[in-house]
Chains A and B, each alone.
Chain A
Amino acid sequence: MNNKVKEFARRHSLEIGLMVITILVWILFIITSPRTFLSPRIYRTFMSTVPFVGLLALGLTFVLAIGEIDLSFPSTMAVGGMCFGLTFAATNSIVLGILAALAGGLVVGLINGILVTKVGMPSIVATLGMMFFLRGFVTLSTDGSAISLRALGDHTLYPVFSGTFLTIPMQTVWFLFLSVFLGFILYRHQFGDNVLFVGDNSHTADLMGISVSKTKIAVFVIMGMLAALSGTMDVFRLRTWWPTQGQGYFMTAFATVFVGGTSMKGGQGTVFGTFVAAFLIGSLEAGIVAAGLAGFWTQLIYGLIIVVSVSIHTYLRRLGIT
């Protein structure tokens, strides 16, 4: 029995390390501002704001696991939000709006994937180009003005993305559901296995009959659709769409994935880590402000958390291999 516990601890040292960091930071917040962090209100706020970044980070986890990178997701988010907004404004249908958003994300992912696999561009360049192009595209399409969606709040399906389920905000319910689902896909599905092998060694994957191009395109499509969904949820929250949507999420999404324990090198990714880190990163700013520190501290502490946690991950990974 003791051996089993040890084996479990060894295999999941990355996740356990992250949990320890998260709990330490949490205790620190409770000590510095007990009034805020011992009342349920702040947690309800986190649960309705964290999932936007969380969904982006879930997609990025797959992209990094396959050994690529995507810089275009903040713009894809705006594409998704715009597709939803325009469709909803025209049809007053939430279902059609969501389908339009997902279709937008799918097309963006498809283009990214084709640029990387068929054209052969490095993903950092292809998605950088797409990031600018899509931002310009949504701004031009809407003449740079916001889409106001007041009617959204009265729709019967509005609570699907904005209500609560057993007092838990729906955003977190969706984030949890998609994390569990995508976790099973990555670790327990043939597709996830292919993703890990393509990221680990694409030559091996090719020799063993795995289609490297198809797997990569599918991963970019997953990223695009998650970004579009995140954009749609963001529109639900504020009942408006604006052309710069998503721009604030770029760095926090990357920070989340790295702090979660997914490496840049491919062949490995942790959905659980991403889920926990989304809440850790998402609560930092509130915690810092509640502690009475000036806003200037935020970036410093962000940086500290990233460097410290990724150092620990790197160290643990090296121990695991040698």
Chain B
Amino acid sequence: MKNIKKKFGSVTALRGVDLEVGENEVVGLLGDNGAGKSTLIKILSGVMPPTEGEIYIRGEKINPREYSVNKARELGIETVYQEKALGEKQPIWRNIFIGRHITNRFGFIDVDKVKQESQKIMREIMGLTGEGASPESRVSTLSGGERQGIAIGRAMYFDADLVILDEPTMALSLKEVDKVLKFIQKIKDSGKSCVYISHNITNVYPVSDRFVALDRGEKVGEYLKDECSLDELNEALILATERKTG
């Protein structure tokens, strides 16, 4: 992404940000609330077009008018949103296959197949084996970790080349955070790329390759993990944001 700018009316959320994600690289996007992280992610995943700037995927320039969530998925970009993006009143199987069910020629859903696949995703990716775990369960009956599991399982199942995670560890128990980190490691091990957003650097430091810091809509720093310990990274981040304030 090159020189991405986004304005909402008179509010400028992004003032020209470059972001690059290499093949098989895990990039952490860091910054305070309102730094523009989520906006940048939403532009990358096709939810909203940028006001200005260019997006390249595998070296090819993307026409912002034709870019959409569905297009992004076609190109292998899957996103796990902070708000999980789940329908509370709907059963798990509908949530996993939302917008792209296995259908016949006329668009009718092959419910048996979809439920079978959902069961598989729940067992193999989410590690849900309990008796209550049925694809028929409504999302409103699940815990925060289980919901995150569905959102992640969904991204995994569709075999993305780039997985974007927005605050994946927020409001999760320690055990669940561990699961998410293992998941990021799995993405890396399978040769794919990942961008994640986080407040908590300590958690995600071990699984990352590179960090990008945003502040008030601008990129204020970029650090390679190999050149920078956790403490140094912490200090650098504080310095970077202070310099701007001062």
- Taking beta carbons and an 8 Å cutoff, which residues of A are in contact with B? 11, 184, 188-191, 193-194, 196-197, 200-201, 203-210, 267-268, 320-322
Contact of A208 with B99 in the complex, beta carbons under 8 Å: yes
Q: Which of A188, A191, A200 contacts B87 (CB 8 A)?
A: A200
Residues of B within 8 A of A191 (CB): 107
Contact of B103 with A196 in the complex, beta carbons under 8 Å: no
Q: Is B192 an interface residue (CB 8 A)?
A: no
Contact of B89 with A207 in the complex, beta carbons under 8 Å: no
Residue among B83, B85, B87, B107 facing the most chain A CB atoms (10 A cut-off): B87
A207 to B88, CA, bound (A): 15
Contact of A201 with B87 in the complex, beta carbons under 8 Å: yes
Can you list 14 A-B pairs with a CB-CB distance of less than 8 A? A188-B108, A189-B103, A189-B106, A190-B109, A194-B99, A196-B94, A200-B89, A201-B86, A207-B81, A210-B99, A267-B87, A267-B90, A320-B138, A322-B141
Residues of A within 8 A of B140 (CB): 321
Residues of B within 8 A of A320 (CB): 138
A298 to B111, CA, bound (A): 43
Contact of A204 with B107 in the complex, beta carbons under 8 Å: no
**Which stretch in B1-9, B68-76, B206-214 binds the other chain?**
B68-76
B138 to chain A, nearest CB (A): 7
Contact of A193 with B101 in the complex, beta carbons under 8 Å: yes
- Taking beta carbons and an 8 Å cutoff, which residues of B are in contact with A? 46-47, 68-70, 73, 79, 81, 83, 85-90, 94, 97-99, 101, 103, 106-109, 111, 136, 138, 140-141
Contact of B108 with A184 in the complex, beta carbons under 8 Å: yes
Contact of B94 with A193 in the complex, beta carbons under 8 Å: yes
Contact of B94 with A190 in the complex, beta carbons under 8 Å: no
Residues of A within 8 A of B46 (CB): 209
Contact of B70 with A189 in the complex, beta carbons under 8 Å: no
Between A and B, how many residue pairs show CB distances below 8 Å?
A: 79
Residue among B107, B111, B140 facing the most chain A CB atoms (10 A cut-off): B107
A320 to chain B, nearest CB (A): 7
- Known A-B contacts A190-B103, A200-B89, A203-B83; the reply to A321 vs B141 at CB < 8 A is yes
Contact of B109 with A209 in the complex, beta carbons under 8 Å: no
Q: Taking CB as reference atom, which chain B residue is nearest A190?
A: B107
Q: Which of B87, B103, B106, B109 contacts A204 (CB 8 A)?
A: B87
A203 to B69, CA, bound (A): 13
A198 to chain B, nearest CB (A): 9
A191 to B99, CA, bound (A): 9
Residue among A184, A188, A201, A209 facing the most chain B CB atoms (10 A cut-off): A209
Contact of A209 with B73 in the complex, beta carbons under 8 Å: yes
B241 to chain A, nearest CB (A): 29
Contact of A209 with B86 in the complex, beta carbons under 8 Å: no
Contact of B138 with A206 in the complex, beta carbons under 8 Å: no
A215 to chain B, nearest CB (A): 11
9 pairs of A and B residues whose beta carbons are closest in the complex: A209-B69, A200-B87, A267-B89, A207-B85, A209-B70, A204-B85, A190-B107, A197-B87, A208-B99
Contact of A210 with B107 in the complex, beta carbons under 8 Å: no
Contact of A190 with B90 in the complex, beta carbons under 8 Å: no
Q: Which of B81, B83, B98 contacts A193 (CB 8 A)?
A: B98
Q: Taking CB as reference atom, which chain A residue is nearest B107?
A: A190
A139 to B98, CA, bound (A): 45
Q: Taking CB as reference atom, which chain A residue is nearest B69?
A: A209
A183 to chain B, nearest CB (A): 12
A252 to B94, CA, bound (A): 32
Q: Which of B70, B83, B101 contacts A190 (CB 8 A)?
A: B101
Contact of A196 with B87 in the complex, beta carbons under 8 Å: yes
Q: Taking CB as reference atom, which chain B residue is nearest A268?
A: B89
A201 to B109, CA, bound (A): 21
Q: Taking CB as reference atom, which chain B residue is nearest A184?
A: B108
Contact of A193 with B109 in the complex, beta carbons under 8 Å: yes
Residues of A within 8 A of B141 (CB): 321-322
A321 to B137, CA, bound (A): 10
A322 to B140, CA, bound (A): 8
Residues of B within 8 A of A204 (CB): 83, 85-87, 98
Residues of B within 8 A of A207 (CB): 47, 69, 79, 81, 83, 85
A210 to B81, CA, bound (A): 15
